[in-house]
Amino acid sequence: MKHRRAGFIAMAALATASQAQSGRPAPSRIDDFIERVSRLRGQVEELAFQPGKLFEFQRGREDIITVAYTGDDMGWPIYSIAIREVCRPRPGGRGCVPGRAARMVRAPAPPELTRPRQRGFSLMQQMLRSGAETPEQVAAAVDKAGLEWLEGDLDACEAAAEVIRQADRIEWVVPEIHSPDPSKLQAPVLHSDMVEVTFVTFARKSSYHGYVAERSPGEWAGRLAAALEPCWRPAAAPPPWRR
């Protein structure tokens, strides 16, 4: 919590300077500012980064894999991915062809990007500078923030399909749980980016929330995102914050 508070203080200093230039009053207390940032972050996540909202609702269809990647102790939104089984129109207009499609929303890259979390931190700075507070103002600011809204055909992206086939190698339960060894100290994890991964099939759902540990679903999700990178194109569908 001490380090999280330090991060908020750093952002508060930047936002206070921006507010002073714009003529808006600065937060009177750091606790008030922390509350404001947390509320704004939640609004941005709800509008744009909920992986379950990347595809439109369609009866009988649901996402089979979702990923939400957030940065640092503050949980800045960085990117979300959803993969869904779809049925594409068959050439000639009769029936459809089953397949898999992917969509991603990602915070824009700031200059001199070196770590994923910088995307989320930069996005939240931009949102704070906008002065948005009401749901309508936040939606308008999100629409102007330059979020990357992408889609891809998983069936035409062999590298990503291969990563999905390797999902059976994921380590869901760590040795500290099933084979604890008191002589070994568990390595501390500080200020890590966090990943939430969910797999869904008939009557079954498997979820992971944690850091990018070796062989974990979080590490697997990072490889999936990297494999999808050359397969993205600008999405034709409206983004979730415009629906």
Sorting pLDDT into bands at 50, 70 and 90, what band is 54?
A: very high
In this model, does residue 141 exceed pLDDT 70?
yes
Other C-beta atoms lying within 10 Å of the C-beta of residue 157:
20
Highest mean pLDDT among 5-14, 89-98, 134-143: 134-143
Q: Map residue 35 onto helix, strand or coil.
A: helix
Q: Could you tell me if 224 and 164 are in contact, meaning their C-beta atoms sit under 8 angstroms apart? A: yes
Residue 92 Cα distances to 96, 100, 101, 242, angstroms: 10, 20, 21, 32
pLDDT digits (tens, 9 = 90+) for 58-101: 877 889 999 999 998 789 999 999 999 998 888 777 788 889 99
Which residue, among 128, 117, 102, 154, has the nearest Cα to 40 in the 3D structure?
A: 128
Q: Could you tell me if 15 and 125 are in contact, meaning their C-beta atoms sit under 8 angstroms apart? A: yes
Q: Map residue 209 onto helix, strand or coil.
A: strand
In this model, does residue 1 exceed pLDDT 50?
no
Residue with tokens 């908020």: 8
Q: Report the Cα–Cα distance between both ends of the chain, in Å, rounded.
A: 36
* CA separation for the pair 96, 226 (Å, rounded): 29
Half-sphere exposure of residue 84: CA atoms within 13 angstroms, side-chain side:
21
pLDDT digits (tens, 9 = 90+) for 211-226: 999 999 999 999 999 9
In this model, does residue 2 exceed pLDDT 50?
no
Residue 52 identity (one-letter amino acid): G
Question: Residue ranges of the domains in the chain?
Answer: 2-181+191-242
